[in-house]
Amino acid sequence: MGTGEQADAAQRRRRLAGAGTQLGTEFSINFGSSLAGLVIPVVGSFVVVAVRQVVMVAVVLPFYRPRRASLTWRRLWPAIALGVVLAVMNLAFYESVHLLGLGVAATIEFLGPLGLALVTSRRWLDVACALAAGAGVVLLLGPGASAAGEIDPWGVALALTAAVSWALYIVLTRRVAVGLPGLEGLTVASIVSLALLLPFAVVTFDAGAIDWRVLGLLLGVGVLSSALPYSLDTYILRRITPRLYAIITSLGPVIAAGFGWLVLDESFTLLEVVAIVVVCGAAGTAIATQRERPKSALERTAETIP
């Protein structure tokens, strides 16, 4: 096998490993979100998100050994911005799950990565997919669509905030993964996010609501929804493109609806099921048919580095 063939084979293995890992993180995140749906009514969203970040910091901080000379704004601002986005995204999404249910909230939130995939497009197919996704969301939020009754407008606003934050998260995580070694960027982002959330969590914390079941659920949310998937995102985005990342993510609303049904006992009308499938199908079509720009020699060389 020649050098070029070996490089191509190595790249295929990298992509396969990255794609398989991301699919696993989709199940992990949505299972964790379903556990959050169980515990948010007991302790509140601020406490749940803060515990997520505590678990995250505990996992990644031992691997972070900063040098004073490296602690500069110019070098670390993407990681700091990522920490702010993490706090907003997680808090807005969990509160929307509490108000709308996991399946509906996850579908609306998915408009973020879908919009990111379409923002630079000039194709009529993408316009059609965007219209289809919009129609799916209208169906999801329309009168008589929800099995739970009226849709909470504040929940919709929070889900849309989470959607915008998710798009920013993808952009910033890619930049952090490429610009900072190992888990350094993720560690900084986790510390920033925790610092923002902790004061609110302390104010809203009710010690009387805590028992072993609640502690177990909070730990499960932290590991499944933060420590595991976010630690792996830098690994994933070094091996697959943001486009492939978004394609796999398009399965997220369906996985979320499944966990909402299994864990949270959510029920869905036929119209809601159709709406979720339409949004996922439009997203998958739009993203899968995008053409990637040709890679430079430097990018091709970088892809061969583990």
pLDDT tens by residue, 198-209: 999 999 888 888
Average pLDDT for 94-101: 90
pLDDT tens by residue, 30-49: 999 999 999 999 998 899 99
Question: Cα 96 vs. chain centroid, distance in angstroms?
Answer: 14
**Cα–Cα dist 46/199, whole Å:** 9
* Six-digit token string for 189: 């982002």
Residue, of 130 and 84, whose pLDDT is higher: 84
Q: pLDDT averaged over the chain?
A: 79
What is residue 95's predicted lDDT score, i.e. its pLDDT? 92
What is residue 130's predicted lDDT score, i.e. its pLDDT? 77
End-to-end CA separation in angstroms for the chain: 20
| pTM listed for this prediction | 0.78
CB 62 within 8 A of CB 171: no
* Six-digit token string for 138: 């209208």
Residue count of the chain, please give it.
306
Residue, of 170 and 63, whose pLDDT is higher: 170
Average pLDDT for 231-236: 74
Question: Cα 303 vs. chain centroid, distance in angstroms?
Answer: 24
Distances (CA, A) of 242 to 22, 167, 272, 287: 12, 11, 28, 10
CB 103 within 8 A of CB 271: no
Write the single-letter amino acid at 240.
I
On the 0-12 / 13-18 / 19+ scale of CB atoms within 10 A, 219 is: middle
**Cα–Cα dist 177/184, whole Å:** 9
* Six-digit token string for 49: 């998100």
Torsion, CA 213, CA 219, CA 223, CA 224, rounded to 10: 30
- What count of other Cβ atoms lies within 10 Å of the Cβ of residue 232? 16
What is residue 161's predicted lDDT score, i.e. its pLDDT? 95
Report domain extents, the chain: 15-303
**Cα–Cα dist 306/298, whole Å:** 15
**Cα–Cα dist 85/78, whole Å:** 10
What is residue 306's predicted lDDT score, i.e. its pLDDT? 41
